Structures are given as structure tokens and as C-alpha cells.
Amino acid sequence: MIKTPSTQNTITPAESKAKQDSYWIKTFGCQMNKADSERMAGILQGMGYREANNELDADLVLYNTCTIRDNAEQKVYSYLGRQAKRKHSLPHLKLIVAGCLAQQEGEALLRRVPELDLVMGPQHANRLETLLNQVENGNQVLATEENHIFEDLTTARRESKICAWVNVIYGCNERCSYCVVPSVRGKEQSRSPEAIYKEVESLASLGYKEITLLGQNIDAYGRDLPGISPQGRRENTLTDLLHFIHEIKGIERIRFATSHPRYFTERLIDTCFKLPKLCEHFHIPFQSGDNNILKSMGRGYTIERYKRIVDRIRSLMPDASISADVIVAFPGETTEQFQKTLNIIKEIGFDLVNTAAYSPRPNTPASTWPNQLPEEIKIERLLELNSIVEATAKKRNARYLNKIEEILVENSNPKNEKQVMGRTRTNRLTFFSAISPKGLQYKPGDLINVQINTIRPFSLSGNPLE
Ligand code: SF4
């Protein structure tokens, strides 16, 4: 939707390009948002913008937002307030809100912050140039209508030169009763295997060594794509995609996130075990240890099924790392049900758990339910949960001591220039000397065997072996 032209922008499109305006993107939330921001940065650079040194120097400020919980939403408004003030003295400044909060609030955001030039939902990330050209013509633009996400040929401006995010499916068709994602990211849209193959191939040619395939519910990949085998099996599944891109030379490691226990198949586990580039790292949110809570969450599996998945993974890959997401103090959650969640965490021994107390979100069924729990219960349960998560992660981490782990060097250690940092195949951050025993300097992209000698709850250190 386009609002009538205004007189506030005094610098012409040509002038701003000549002056090489600068941009600043601040990203909130998940990996999908980070991948979208990298693509939007690529679009801005393609338009002639350069990255600003800091937010308050930029001629264009884009907040790529999250609304998964209330605190994520509130954070954005404090940033916006500062920039809206700035705009009063800098009329040519362009202010953009993208991502899930933009989709959720839409027009209301323009009313709340009239200084905004563009409010665009996640499905419009690829259309940033088109939308910005409408702004350049003096319009205030709202882009939140349902949109088919076309393949985007922009070269994303990626943070890393070694590890890359690759979107494979956008949106989600599930209806978890607490989740805002389906209403802000829309229906599932899988990219074609050929488009994904082409992107990964070009990444390999640029020297990337590791890719992470992304989707809100990645195991649902391909269910909106045509193709049923003569045996009636769905083709173009995530497992098929993994086999397809596994052959690309130059890529050493493949990861994928985020999984859903309802669609996590034995065939996928077996494939991860058989294909050497597939890393032994699984992110499978379980959300609650109680089946009745899982039912009211609309998750579509039982905790017994979840445990069978973990058992199957560990029967083939005993040292695989398993991480998860969990929500406590969901409406109606009793002390006994909460205890079941704590028991599962102790029983499974996760490498990492992203924890949260239930936060009612707009347009979600659970937000209207009467049995909401008080804030103090939420805080109390979250604190207890976090201490158990840290204790089990530390215990689980002990298995690395004295072991030799293959580390993909990603960068120098920002806190110690004599060290480099990278991750194990199980996604554990590891620090070690930047110089090999024979005096060679390690560089990003190197795969180095490191003997682990120090354990911390969420990272490791060790000695590189020649
Ligand atoms: S699977 Fe559920 S929790 Fe995950 S994005 Fe979809 S609706 Fe949200």
C-alpha cells in the first residue's frame, strides 16, 4: 500500500547514491531473521549503499524485528524512539522496520511511529529495492500483504566467510497454540531443490566450508512441492535434499535447523548417520515434558515419541549433540507438570536448551485462555529451569575431556588474538592456539584436530595436533 507523496525527503535518489549513503541493519531474533538481514544488506549494497560504522551515523536504518515474546517486541520501540527523534533533524534519514513485528503490527506501527518510511513483513525481504524506490519517490510504504517469495538472486552480504545460512523453507503451517510465527511468516513455501543446490554450489565456489539449512519447521521441507514416488512416498523431502546437496565439492559440513519431533523420521536419522558431511548436531525443540501440556500447545507428539527419537539418534551417534527449546509456566501448567519438564532435561542431558517462560502473543489461541500463570511463578520456574539446564550441559560437556575433536576454524578469538575459534561437528565452540605445533598460522576454513583439555558449560579449549 502506498501513502500520498510527502515533502520531507529533500535529497534526490541520484544525490543520495552519489553521496553513497550508508545503511545500518540491526537484527533481532532467530537465524531466519539473520539470513534475511544478510540478503537485505546485499540488496542495499547492490543499490550503492555502504555499511555505516554505527547506527547513529547511518542514512538508512533498518530494524529486522522479532515478536516471539513480548520483551523482543518492546526492545524495538526503544531503538525506534531514538531514531524517530534523529529524523526530526535529519529529514533524509530513512527508517525501516522489517521482520515479524512489522508483519504483526503493520499499519498500527505507522500510526505509532509516523517517522517510519517503510514497514515490511518477512515475506517482502527480497523486495527491499522495489519498496525503497517507492520511498525514494516520497512515499510512506506498508508491505505486509501475503506474498509468494521469489528466488532472490542478490548476493547476500554474509557475516561469515566460512559458514553460511541457506533458507530452504519459509513460513510454517503448524498451529502451535502459543506461537506467532504462522501469522507473521505465513504459509510454508519450500524453495526448489535446484535453487538450493545452485546457491550451495556458488557458496562452495566462494570458499564456504559449512552450510546450515534453515526453516522454522525444516522437517516439513518439500511438502508443498510436487512429486510423489510410484511407491507413494513423498519426494523432495529434507532427507532427499540432504542427499542431493551432499555431493557438492568444497562443502565439508552440513547442518540444519529447526526440527519438529512430529516430522522427525528414522530415515532422516539414518541419513545423518550415513552421510559423512552431516554434522552430529540436532536442534529439536520439545517445549514441555508433560503430554497434556504438549496437547494444549498443539504440538502433535508425546514425550515418549520425543525420547524414542533421542534414543535412536544416540544408538547410532552416541556423542551427537542434542539441543532444544522449552517453555515453562504455560497456561494451566501445574507444579507436577513443570517437574516433568525438569525430569526430561535431567534424563536426556541436553547439550543446550533455549529456555523461556510463556509469553502471551497477539493472534495466538493460548493468549486468550483463562488459566494464565502469575509473573512470579514464571520467574521462579525459569530460574529453576536455567540452573538445571546449566548443570546438565556442564555434565554433558565432560565427555569432551581429552578427546580429539575436529574443529572448523571460523575466526580469531576476539578476546585473545593468540587464539583462533571454531566449532566441533557437535556445534560446541572451541578455542585453541592460532599457531600449529610446527609454527604454521591457522586460518578460517582450516579443519584442525584439537585435543580438548578445558571444559566450560558452553565452550571448550584444547591443543591443536599436527
Ligand atoms: S512449528 Fe509451532 S512453534 Fe515452530 S514455528 Fe511453527 S507454529 Fe511456531
Look at residue 1 in the predicted model and tell me its pLDDT. Answer: 42
- What is the total count of domains within the chain? 3
- For the record, the C-alpha cell of 333 comes out as 501448567
Same domain, 121 and 219: no
The reply to whether ligand 1 has any atom less than 6 angstroms from the CB of 29 is no
CA of 217 to the centre of ligand 1 (A): 7
Residue 366 belongs to some domain of the structure = no
Does residue 420 contact residue 432 with C-beta atoms inside 8 Å?
Answer: yes
User: Considering only CA atoms, which residue is closest to atom 2 of ligand 1?
Assistant: 176
Does residue 51 contact residue 39 with C-beta atoms inside 8 Å?
Answer: no
Residue 424 belongs to some domain of the structure = yes
317, exposed or middle or buried, with CB in 10 Å at 0-12, 13-18, 19+?
buried
CA of 241 to the centre of ligand 1 (A): 21
**What amino acid occupies position 3?**
K
Residue 350 belongs to some domain of the structure = no
Q: Over 60: is that where the pLDDT of 16 sits?
A: no
Query: Taking residues 37-66, what's their average pLDDT?
Result: 95
Residue 437 belongs to some domain of the structure = yes
The model's confidence at residue 3, banded by pLDDT at 50, 70 and 90, is very low
Dihedral sign, Cα of residue 445, residue 449, residue 454, residue 458: positive
Look at residue 230 in the predicted model and tell me its pLDDT. Answer: 67
Look at residue 75 in the predicted model and tell me its pLDDT. Answer: 85
303, exposed or middle or buried, with CB in 10 Å at 0-12, 13-18, 19+?
buried
Q: What is the phi/psi pair of residue 358, to 5°? A: -55, 135
The reply to whether ligand 1 has any atom less than 6 angstroms from the CB of 39 is no
Residue 121 belongs to some domain of the structure = yes
Q: Over 80: is that where the pLDDT of 465 sits?
A: yes
* From 32, 69, 174, mutation site for ligand 1 pocket: most ligand atoms within 8 A of C-beta: 174
Number of neighbours of residue 427 by Cβ within 10 angstroms: 19
Model pLDDT for residues 324-341, shown as the tens digit of each residue: 999 999 999 999 999 999
Model pLDDT for residues 409-438, shown as the tens digit of each residue: 999 999 999 999 999 999 999 999 999 999
The domain boundary residue, chosen from 118, 143, 168: 143
Question: What is the C-alpha to C-alpha distance for residues 46 and 40, in angstroms, rounded to an integer?
Answer: 10
The model's confidence at residue 8, banded by pLDDT at 50, 70 and 90, is very low
Same domain, 94 and 208: no
Q: Over 60: is that where the pLDDT of 17 sits?
A: no
Q: Over 50: is that where the pLDDT of 307 sits?
A: yes
Same domain, 79 and 181: no
- For the record, the C-alpha cell of 280 comes out as 552430529
CA of 426 to the centre of ligand 1 (A): 24
Query: Taking residues 285-314, what's their average pLDDT?
Result: 98
Same domain, 177 and 100: no
Same domain, 19 and 90: yes
The reply to whether ligand 1 has any atom less than 6 angstroms from the CB of 356 is no
Q: What percent of the chain lies above the pLDDT cut of 70?
A: 94
The reply to whether ligand 1 has any atom less than 6 angstroms from the CB of 172 is yes
DSSP, residue by residue, 1-64: -BPPP-S---S-HHHHHHTT-EEEEEE-SSHHHHHHHHHHHHHHHHTT-EE-SSGGG-SEEEEE
Residue 414 belongs to some domain of the structure = yes
Residue 438 belongs to some domain of the structure = yes
Range 396-406 burial, b when 16+ CB lie within 10 A, else e: bbebbeeeebe
Question: What is the C-alpha to C-alpha distance for residues 424 and 405, in angstroms, rounded to an integer?
Answer: 6
Q: Which atom of ligand 1 is nearest to the CA of 185?
A: 5
Look at residue 60 in the predicted model and tell me its pLDDT. Answer: 97
The reply to whether ligand 1 has any atom less than 6 angstroms from the CB of 80 is no
Same domain, 62 and 182: no
Same domain, 250 and 136: no
| The model's pTM | 0.91
Does residue 392 contact residue 345 with C-beta atoms inside 8 Å?
Answer: yes
Q: What percent of the chain lies above the pLDDT cut of 90?
A: 86
The domain boundary residue, chosen from 246, 279, 312: 279
Number of neighbours of residue 125 by Cβ within 10 angstroms: 28
For the domain that residue 436 is a member of, what is the CATH number? 2.40.50.140
The domain boundary residue, chosen from 143, 176, 195: 143
Look at residue 6 in the predicted model and tell me its pLDDT. Answer: 45
Same domain, 102 and 208: no
Dihedral class, residue 385 (left if φ above 0, else alpha if ψ from -120 to 50, else beta): alpha
Question: What is the C-alpha to C-alpha distance for residues 46 and 133, in angstroms, rounded to an integer?
Answer: 13
Number of neighbours of residue 5 by Cβ within 10 angstroms: 11
Range 249-265 burial, b when 16+ CB lie within 10 A, else e: eebbbbbbbbbbbebbe
- For the record, the C-alpha cell of 404 comes out as 580429539
Look at residue 155 in the predicted model and tell me its pLDDT. Answer: 73
- In 364-434, the DSSP E strands lie at 404-413, 416-423, 429-433
Same domain, 65 and 135: yes
Residue 364 belongs to some domain of the structure = no
Same domain, 33 and 93: yes
Query: Taking residues 369-394, what's their average pLDDT?
Result: 96
Same domain, 82 and 166: no
Q: Over 60: is that where the pLDDT of 18 sits?
A: no
Look at residue 12 in the predicted model and tell me its pLDDT. Answer: 52
The reply to whether ligand 1 has any atom less than 6 angstroms from the CB of 98 is no
Model pLDDT for residues 227-259, shown as the tens digit of each residue: 766 667 677 899 999 999 999 999 999 999 999
CA of 39 to the centre of ligand 1 (A): 23
Domain of 220 in residue numbering reads as 160-279
Number of neighbours of residue 372 by Cβ within 10 angstroms: 17
Model pLDDT for residues 132-163, shown as the tens digit of each residue: 999 999 999 999 998 887 766 567 889 999 99
Same domain, 9 and 139: yes
* Torsion (CA) 446, 452, 457, 458 in degrees, nearest 10: 10
Q: Per 3-state DSSP, what percentage of the chain is helix, strand, and coil (rounded to 5)? A: 40, 25, 40
For the domain that residue 73 is a member of, what is the CATH number? 3.40.50.12160
Question: What is the C-alpha to C-alpha distance for residues 160 and 157, in angstroms, rounded to an integer?
Answer: 9
CA of 182 to the centre of ligand 1 (A): 7
For the domain that residue 171 is a member of, what is the CATH number? 3.30.750.210
Eight-state DSSP code of residue 357: E
Question: What is the C-alpha to C-alpha distance for residues 266 and 170, in angstroms, rounded to an integer?
Answer: 24
User: Which among 20, 11, 76 is positioned nearest to 51, based on CA atoms?
Assistant: 20
